[in-house]
Amino acid sequence: MSLQGTLKDFGIGDILQLIGQQQKTGTLLVRSKDQEVRVGFSDGHIIKAESVTRKRKELIGAMLVRSELITETQLEAALETQRRTLKRLGDVLVSSQALTAERFQAMMQLQATETLYRLFTWKSGTYEFVQEPVEPDAEAIQPLRAETVLMEGFRMVDEWPVIRQKIHRDDLVFERIKALPQPRFDEGGGELGAIGPSERRIYDELSLGRDLRKLVDISCLGEFETCKALYNLVKGEYIRPILPEGAPAPAPGDQRLLARLAAPLGRLMASVVVLAVLGLVAYRAVSARHEGVAATPFADSAAQRHVSQAQRVRIEAALEVFRLERGELPERLDSLVQAGLLNPGELKYPWREEYYYRRLAARQFLLLPPLR
């Protein structure tokens, strides 16, 4: 199987889902401007992810130093040994007891996942998948299911705008306001409430002068999880962000005024756009039914994907109308049928199974082709 195109026509989520569903083995090369990422698959699982154009600060050695797991002196000594012996950097660091094998493996895994999740932020670029044997690296990551990366990537994309409302600068520092509550656990041992292990870890790492960039490095949680933990701590009023000296503070009054003005205009524009989209898609759907094709799933997978993109626009439009009428999104897609916005068959067309839908918040949702 050879697959290539642009990210505007076929998003990274669709690509990962297709390769994962068909359990393909090969290499996916994604390019955007001066960036290039290679992703290796084995039977639909991701076994490697590397940035070909990775900057020096993103190299594993630099990551270990920034996270304060090793010192600059230890890295330089390990690199010198690596040049003389041709051993892998991880083996050199572990044999010299600079860090444990488990810690090095965890950092390799973090480096790979951060590379993968950044792909979801790319707005343009090209991709090419070549079916070929892929051997795991000696310092291999734990295989990742493509569907798992897909779901996590979309979750990040959906939640970033909310998080960035409070965590909006890389040079923010944070001050503790009050102590964290005692943890409460469910029957499975998971912590209940908005304060979990990530929030407690970040709270413990706070110290005078550590900005967001340093917290991302030292927490070893990744950029998104660090920012989300900080957002939850700020929202719960356990900490507060402090702007760097000399930075202009936002004008709360102006922001509230803009929000008040934008809200009714936004609802009006959304209603107009949604109604226009619904009208156009409904016209096309009626035309298609007259031609006798609407109820029959496509046999050709390429045709399915193209038709599915248009059908998802219709479902998304129906979801927006539902939200405008009820004030929140439905828990299930069949609520759109009960509301008279869609027919039952349109929740599957052009697939045999129903679209995957999950409500993330009152105004956020995840809609994907069937996860098979």
The pLDDT assigned to 246 comes to: 65
Q: What are phi and psi of 370, to 5 degrees?
A: -55, 130
Mean pLDDT of 103-107: 95
Residue 266 has pLDDT above 70, yes or no: no
Residue 70 CA to residue 227 CA, distance in Å, equals 24
Residue 259 has pLDDT above 80, yes or no: no
The pLDDT assigned to 303 comes to: 62
Mean pLDDT of 205-214: 89
The pLDDT assigned to 277 comes to: 47
Residue 249 CA to residue 231 CA, distance in Å, equals 18
In the three-class reduction of DSSP (H, G, I as helix; E, B as strand; rest coil), residue 298 is classed as coil
Pairing of strands 126-131, 173-176: unpaired
The pTM of the full predicted model, rounded to 2 decimals, is 0.67
Name the band, by pLDDT with cuts 50, 70 and 90, for residue 76. very high
Measured CA to CA in angstroms, residue 333 lies from 65, 156, 309, 365, 366 at distances of 48, 22, 17, 11, 11
Residue 55 has pLDDT above 50, yes or no: yes
Name the band, by pLDDT with cuts 50, 70 and 90, for residue 41. very high
Name the band, by pLDDT with cuts 50, 70 and 90, for residue 117. very high
Residues 282-296: pLDDT tens digits? Answer: 444 444 444 444 444
Mean pLDDT of 73-98: 94
Mean pLDDT of 153-182: 91
The ranges assigned to domains in the chain are: 2-162, 164-242, 252-368
Bridge partners (DSSP) listed for residue 130? 2, 27
The pLDDT assigned to 52 comes to: 87
As a three-state string, the secondary structure of 157-221 is HHHHHHHCCCCCCCCCEEEECCCCCCCCECCCCCECCCCCHHHHHHHHHCCCCCEHHHHHHHHCC
- Classify domain 164-242 by CATH number: 1.10.10
For the four alpha carbons of 280, 286, 292 and 297, in that order, the dihedral sign comes to positive
Q: Angle CA(170)–CA(251)–CA(265) in degrees, nearest 5? A: 100
